[in-house]
């Protein structure tokens, strides 16, 4: 695999790295670890994952993130923090 192809499959954002290969290499969708991310950052990651594969799991989402509509894909899932 050449670097340009790899760069397309491992997307780098200022606040996250998105592994678009995960469904193929690990057998499950990419996971968004929401702790420490703003609702806008979670939404940006979710949108990219939804566009690429339609599937993602967002974990440890704060109330503000869940209210912000970050989970916009019918095949995406948003899980709250355990303490809420």
| Residue range 26-62, pLDDT digits in tens | 877 788 888 889 888 988 998 888 888 777 888 887 7
Query: What pTM was estimated for this model as a whole?
Result: 0.72
Please, what is the average pLDDT of the chain? 77
Residue 2 tokens read as: 């050449």
Contact call for residues 58 and 38 (beta carbons, < 8 A):
no
Q: What is the count of structural domains for the chain? A: 1
Strand order across the 56-61 sheet:
31-33, 56-61, 76-80
- Mean pLDDT over 57-72 rounds to 71
Name the DSSP letter for residue 54: S
Beta bridge partners of 11: 18
Domain containing 28: what range? 3-80
């Amino acid at each position: 695999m050449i670097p340009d192809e790899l760069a397309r499959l491992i997307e780098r954002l200022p606040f996250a790295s998105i592994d678009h290969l995960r469904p193929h290499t690990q057998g499950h969708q990419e996971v968004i670890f929401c702790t420490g991310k703003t609702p806008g950052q979670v939404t940006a990651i979710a949108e990219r994952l939804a566009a690429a594969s339609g599937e993602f799991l967002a974990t440890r989402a704060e109330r503000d993130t869940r209210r912000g509509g970050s989970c916009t894909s019918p095949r995406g899932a948003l899980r709250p923090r355990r303490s809420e």
